[in-house]
A and B are shown apart, each in its own frame.
Chain A
Amino acid sequence: MESSRKARGTKTQEEQWMVENDVGQIYSSVSSIPPNAQSVFLEIRRDNHIQYLMHGLNNLGPSFSTLDANRPWICYWILHSIALLGDSLDEELEHSTIEFLSRCQDPDGGYGGGPGQMPHLATTYAAVNSLITLGGPKSLSSINRGKLRAFLLRMKDASGGFRMHDGGEVDVRACYTAISVASVLNILDDELTQNVGDYILSCQTYEGGIAGEPGSEAHGGYTFCGLAAMILINEVHRLDLPCLIDWVVFRQGVEGGFQGRTNKLVDGCYSFWQGGVAVIVQKLHSVICEQLGLSKVLDSECDSESYHDYETSDISDVEECTVETSCPLGGTCHRRKEDIGVDFISNKRAIAPIFSSMHLQQYLLLCSQEGAGFRDKPGKPRDHYHTCYCLSGLSVCQYCSSADADSPPLARDILGPYSNLLEQLHPLYNLVLDRYYEAHDFFSKF
Chain B
Amino acid sequence: MDVLQKSSERIPLSQRPEYADVKPVAQDDGPNPIVPISYTDEFRETMDYFRAIYVTDERSLRALQLTAEAIKLNAGNYTVWQFRRLVLKALNADMNKELDFVDGIVERNSKNYQIWHHRRWVAENLGTDLSTRELEFTKKILSKDAKHYHAWSHRQWVLQALGGWKDELAYCELLLKDDIFNNSAWNQRYFVVTRSPLLGGLGAMRESEVTCTVNAIMEHPENESPWRYLRGLYRNDTQALVKDPQVASVCLKILTAKNNYVHALSMLLDLLCHGFQASLEIRNAVYGLSDSGAQGSDLVKVVCSILELVDPMRANYWKWRRNMAPAQAAQCLKDDGLTGLSL
Which residues in A have some Cβ–Cβ distance to B below 8 Å? Answer: 10-13, 56-62, 64-71, 74-75, 78, 92-93, 95-97, 99-100, 103, 112-118, 120, 164-169, 205-208, 212-213, 215-219, 243, 245-247, 249-250, 252-254, 256, 261-264, 289, 292-294, 296, 298, 300-301, 310-311, 313, 315, 318, 351-356, 359
Contact = CB atoms under 8 A, between A and B. Distances in A.
A173 to B, nearest CB: 9
Contact of A115 (B29, B37, B316): B29
A100 B187 contact: no
A168 B82 CA distance: 8
Contact of B178 (A10, A168, A292): A10
Interface string B8-36: 00000000000000000001111011111
Given A99-B32, A293-B335, A254 B313 contact: yes
B323 interface: yes
A262 B224 contact: yes
Contacts of A252: 313-314
A356 B316 contact: yes
A351 B324 CA distance: 11
Contacts of A318: 327
B35 A167 contact: no
The A interface is mostly helix, strand or loop, or mixed, namely: loop
Nearest to B202: A206
A253 B74 contact: no
B314 A68 contact: no
A264 B187 CA distance: 14
Interface string B297-333: 0000000000000001111110110011011100100
B181 A65 contact: no
B149 to A, nearest CB: 7
Contact of B113 (A60, A169, A207, A254): A169
Contact of A58 (B34, B190, B228): B34
Interface stretch (B38-46, B163-171, B244-252): B38-46
B323 A298 contact: yes
A168 B78 contact: yes
B34 A113 contact: no
A59 B36 contact: yes
Contacts of B43: 62, 65, 68
B181 A74 contact: no
A216 B314 CA distance: 26
Interface stretch (B99-107, B134-142, B229-237, B280-288): B229-237
Contacts of A112: 79
Given A213-B153, A294-B324, A315-B326, 4 more contacts: A65-B37, A118-B78, A207-B187, A356-B313
A250 B231 CA distance: 15
B290 interface: no
A355 B195 CA distance: 34
16 contacts: A11-B179, A12-B179, A13-B181, A62-B43, A68-B37, A74-B35, A96-B32, A118-B82, A165-B82, A167-B82, A169-B117, A249-B314, A262-B183, A263-B225, A293-B335, A355-B316
B184 interface: yes
Nearest to A355: B316
Given A96-B34, A216-B149, A313 B331 contact: no
Given A71-B35, A263-B183, A354 B317 contact: yes
Nearest to B159: A215
B35 A351 contact: no
Contacts of B328: 292, 294
B110 to A, nearest CB: 13
Given A164-B78, A206-B190, A215 B317 contact: no
